[in-house]
Every structure is written in C-alpha cells, then in structure tokens.
Amino acid sequence: MLLEINDLSVSFSSIHGTFHVLDQVSMHIGPGEIIGVVGESGSGKSVTALTILRLLQDNASIDSGKILFQNQSLLDLTEKEVQTLRGKKIGMVFQEPMTALNPTMKIGRQLANVIRKHRGVSKKEAAELAVRALEDVKIKDPEKVAQKYPFQLSGGMRQRVVIALAMSAPPQLLIADEPTTALDVTVQSEILKLMKELSQKKGTSIMFITHDLAVVSDFCDRVYVMYQGKIVESGQTGEVLSQPQHPYTRALIESLPEGKKKDEPLKVLEGEPFNLAERPAGCVFFERCPLRAERCRSTLPVVSKGKHHRVACWEADHDHV
Amino acid sequence: MTMFEMKDLVKQFDDVTACDHVTFHIKKGETYGLVGESGSGKSTIAGMIIGLLEPTSGSIRMNGESLWQNGNYKRNKDGAIQIVFQDPQSSLDPRMTVRQIITEPLRVLPKAVRRERSDDRYLANLLKRVGLNEGHLDRHPHEFSGGQRQRIAIARAVITDPQFIILDEPTSALDVSVQAQILNLLNSLQQERQLTYLFISHDMSVIRYMCDRVGVLYHGKMVEEDETDSLFKAPRHEYTRKLLSSLPQLKSEEDQYV
C-alpha cells in the first residue's frame, strides 16, 4: 500500500467552539491507483488532503488516527522531514493555478528551481529538464512558454504548468484538489486525459478530490463518498455510482439534472447539514435520511457489500446481495 | 410571441469583439439557454440587456421597443428585467440586511407599490416562497449558506414582478444537492409568474434540463441555435460536438461491463 489512513479524526477550534471536521476517516491508495474523494462543501475532503500534506493550520488538532506513507508514519515526522516529502514524493495541484505560481517569475525558472531542488542537477540541466517537463504536459512551443510569466497564459495552460511542477520529481502520489473546477469543460477533459497519461507513464497514484460525480465516474478507479467529515460509502467507482447503497450517495446522484425532463422536479435532499460543533453520536446523515430508524440515532455500522464496497448504513444490509 | 429580439448585436472592446453580430430571439414564457466557455460572450450579452454595456451596434428589442436609443438605455417598464448572478457572495452587499437587499429594487417603482411590497407581511410571504422565513429579514448575508444567499438574490429579482429574468450561472457556485433545490425553485416560480428566462451557463446538463431552446456561443459568435432536444441529439456545428463530447458522464451500469 502506498498510502494508508486509519481512523483519522481532526478538529478545528475557534472562538465559536470546537468543530469536528474529520471523524474516523480511513482510506488507502495503492501504487498507480487513481482514487476519487467526492463530497459537498464541508464534507472534509480538502481537510483530508491537507492533513496528509501536513498543511493544517495552527488551530487544527489531530485527535486520533494514523497516516502511513510507504510504511512511514506521516504524522510523526518533523517539519523538516515533511518538507523533503512534500513536492518530491507527494505532489499537489489545487483548484486555482494562479495562486500556485509565482507571478513575478518566468515559468521556466520556476520549474527549474523545483527540479534542481528535487534532483540536484546543474542550472543548465535543470533549464533543459524544465522545457522537457512542459513538453510532458503537452504544451506546444515549450521553449517559448518557459520564457513567459503566469499572467500571460490562459487558465488551462497555467494548470498544465502547475501539473508539470507537481509531476517534476516525479512523485509517488499526486493530490489533486478540484484541479479542473475553474476550467472550461473542453479544457477540463484535456487536463484529465493528461493526468491519466502521466499517472500511467510515471506510475504516480492520484488522490482526486472533487464535488463532481461525473468526473469521478470518468476518471477514478475507486471512490470515497464523504459527508460531514465521515466516509459514508466507498468502493469501485462503477459499482458505487451505478448501485449506490448509502441514502446520501443516492440523493447526490438523484439530485443531478442528467437525463431528466423539465416538468419533473429534481429530487431534493431535505434539510441542512448539521453543525460540525455538535456531532451526532450515530449516523451523520440521520437528520436528513429518508430511511432513518431508531438504531441509527446511536450507532453507525460499516457494512460490506461484496469485496470492496463499504457502506456506513444499517439499511444497506437489507436489499441487494 | 416574441419578447426579446437581438439583431446583429455587436460589442467591441478595444481590439476584442466580445459579441460578434449575434442575432436571436426569446419567446415569452420560455427559457432560452446561452452556453459557451469563458470569453465566449455570454455575460457580455447579459450586460447589454440589463443596461450595463452599451452595444457597439445592432439592436435589442423588448416587446417591440428598442432598449438602447442613441446610447441611452430605456427601460420599457421599471423592474421588468431582473438578473441573478453566479456568486451570491459578491452580489449581495454584506452591510445590508436581507430586508434592505430585497427591497432595494423597489426604489424605481411608484410609491404605492413600494409601500405595499415593503410591508412585513408581503416580505414574509415572499421569503417563504423562496424557501426562507421572516425571521431572516433582519439578518446579514454572511449568516447564510450559499444556497440561502441565492434564494435571497432570487427574492430580490422577483420583488418587482418582472417579466424577464437573466440567470447568469445561478447554480455554478453551489453544491449539487443545493443546485437541485434552486433549479426546482426557478422552475416553479416561472410557472407561477409566467416568467421568461435567459439562462446562461457553461454546464450542459443544467442547460439541457432547464432550457427550451439553446444558443451556442463561441468566440463571440453564435455558432448554433436549436431546440434543446435536437441540439443535444444532433449537434451540427463542430464546436457544439466538441463541447458535448468533452462532458464527463455518469456511466450507467451497462457501460461499465461492456
């Protein structure tokens, strides 16, 4: 296993109280695997990524759990040790490429700096490798682009540059948090294709964080569905999305307008998510669940459906073999 | 019956033609969709309709009357055209209360109407209709979630009893479960009030669900226009085809095992 997260709980404290943003989250990523982490705002998907990268803010505390990366406990490393890992073994791509690039430095130099740091090559070699890295992300005319500043590029081009930066080591794991959300669909499909190719070519695993189920369906081998800091369902993408077992996953899929006619109202999830300062004892979805029963109030099961499919719901027991 | 007619509409910004001889019409009671990527000219067209941008040339007629005359924007009826923007975070003034926000458009209306619609009971009903409650009236935008803020923006748009609302990416910043609530609300309001919508979006699945007819914009030009069903089933322009084939799709079970 490349990455293993076990029972990770994280909370944020502020003057408004303590917010339990991750509640016993467990997931794993194998070498070369592409997994999706999907959920809505506040579900904890980005916090999971930041915890792995050890980039949580000062008011965050890790209340329990372990993260093993290549059998090394990430949470026990010193800041210095983490820095050698970040970027080199674990790359990252965020939603907004402009904020990930230095606006005052030419693209080629930014890349060369990173390459020198990771590989310890000469300046001249690094500059050549930078151009090759731009070629790798299918940028036409890489020599010319290397001489440009970030503001001179389009959003899609910038995200390619960020991916080139993230993949320059190349890392064993790439964490991509909504990398295509700010992009147009035609550009999105090119970027996804590119990431998949790079993953295959360099053997890099990808943790793909998104709110977009359709993108997960196209792109990921396995998926984790999160709701309010909890993984409610996980399994092979095709299976989870075509036979969703958790009422939340079902509601999420049914609320999509795909394939529906205007005169049929979309299915709507009633109510609002609970306040993270007051975590319920039992099921996180209890208040909004159409299938809730008394036992859900106090306990939350993890039910296995088949070999890889896990569902945090009592109801998943009944139907379907 | 035609409500809006855009004829040969052009908007030039220095050396960029943001809207390049666009012609289309919107029928009364329909939802007309405009799709296209960033920079395609969608929001430029919206800006010219609501009077924020003066067309370089061409005309926009609403109910037969020209909206722009000699560089001046003429409303044919006050409050008849409204708009809901993408990001309710930035389209609601953070220092105003919900009451102030939703009654602001009344300023252009006659005193009697103004008084009637700023009455507590009227506002309570309006808020209830968009899925909020009267207890929300004296709160500020930051106390609400993104979906609730968009409901406030919708209340602000319908308070003048408009004929026509521009919906400029109204759900693009929202979670999918919240998106469904807002789309349902927009559809039911349309039925109740016989509203005509111009729905601007880059999200093809939302466009397909909401719109009767669709125009596809590409680099400021309208490259294709059709009834929604035929556009999705048989796109004619190369760009429309590319747009549709780029869409990630939720695969059905059959696809998985083929």
**B31: its two tokens:** 């939802």
Q: Predicted confidence band at B249 (pLDDT cuts at 50, 70, 90)?
A: confident
HSE, side-chain direction, 13 A CA sphere, residue B41:
25
For residue B234, the distance in angstroms to the closest alpha carbon of chain A comes to: 16
Q: Name which of B143, B148, B177, B195 to mutate to probe chain A: the one with the most chain A Cβ atoms within 10 A of its Cβ.
A: B177
- pLDDT, tens digit, for every residue of A123-169? 999 999 999 999 999 999 999 999 999 999 988 899 999 999 999 98
Name every chain A residue with its beta carbon within 8 A of the beta carbon of B187.
262, 265
**B153: its two tokens:** 């923006």
- pLDDT, tens digit, for every residue of B73-103? 987 688 999 999 988 888 999 999 999 999 9
> Which chain A residue has the Cα nearest residue B212?
A262
B202 close contact with A: CB closer than 8 A: yes
Residue with tokens 């910043």: B173
Average pLDDT, integer, range A82-108? 92
Cβ contacts below 8 Å, chain A against chain B, sum to 104
Cross-chain residue pair A243–B251, CB shorter than 8 Å: no
Name every chain B residue with its beta carbon within 8 A of the beta carbon of A211.
175-176
d(CA A120, CA A137): 22
Cross-chain residue pair B248–A218, CB shorter than 8 Å: yes
> Which chain A residue has the Cα nearest residue B186?
A265
d(CA A123, CA A196): 30
Cross-chain residue pair B248–A188, CB shorter than 8 Å: yes
Structure-model confidence comparison of residues B137 and A273, the more confident one: B137
pLDDT at A53 over 50: yes
Q: Which of A248, A161, A243, A195 is nearest to A35 (CA)?
A: A195
> Which chain A residue has the Cα nearest residue B37?
A184
Cross-chain residue pair B38–A184, CB shorter than 8 Å: yes
Say whether B93 sits in a helix, a strand or coil: coil
How much is the ipTM here? 0.83
For residue B181, the distance in angstroms to the closest alpha carbon of chain A comes to: 6
Name every chain A residue with its beta carbon within 8 A of the beta carbon of B181.
268-269
> Which chain A residue has the Cα nearest residue B181?
A268
What does pLDDT average to over chain A? 92
**A222: its two tokens:** 């396995």
Cross-chain residue pair B176–A189, CB shorter than 8 Å: no
- pLDDT, tens digit, for every residue of B23-41? 999 999 999 999 998 889 9
User: In this complex, which of A186, A189, A217 lies closest to B251 when CB atoms are compared?
Assistant: A217
Cross-chain residue pair B248–A214, CB shorter than 8 Å: yes
Cross-chain residue pair B249–A40, CB shorter than 8 Å: no
For residue A26, the distance in angstroms to the closest alpha carbon of chain B comes to: 24
For residue A293, the distance in angstroms to the closest alpha carbon of chain B comes to: 23
- pLDDT, tens digit, for every residue of A164-201? 999 998 999 999 999 998 888 888 999 999 999 999 99
- pLDDT, tens digit, for every residue of A259-318? 888 888 998 888 888 889 898 889 999 999 999 999 999 988 888 888 889 999 988 765
User: In this complex, which of B187, B245, B252 lies closest to A262 when CB atoms are compared?
Assistant: B187
Name every chain B residue with its beta carbon within 8 A of the beta carbon of A272.
145
pLDDT of residue A47: 95
Name every chain B residue with its beta carbon within 8 A of the beta carbon of A252.
176-177
pLDDT of residue A317: 61
Peptide bond preceding A170 in cis form (omega within 30 of 0): yes
Q: Which residues are CB-neighbours of A232 under 8 A, at least 6 positions away?
A: A225, A226, A246, A248, A249, A284, A285, A311, A312, A313
> Within 10 Å of residue A150's Cβ, how many Cβ atoms?
21
User: In this complex, which of A184, A255, A265 lies closest to B187 when CB atoms are compared?
Assistant: A265
Name every chain A residue with its beta carbon within 8 A of the beta carbon of B179.
255, 257
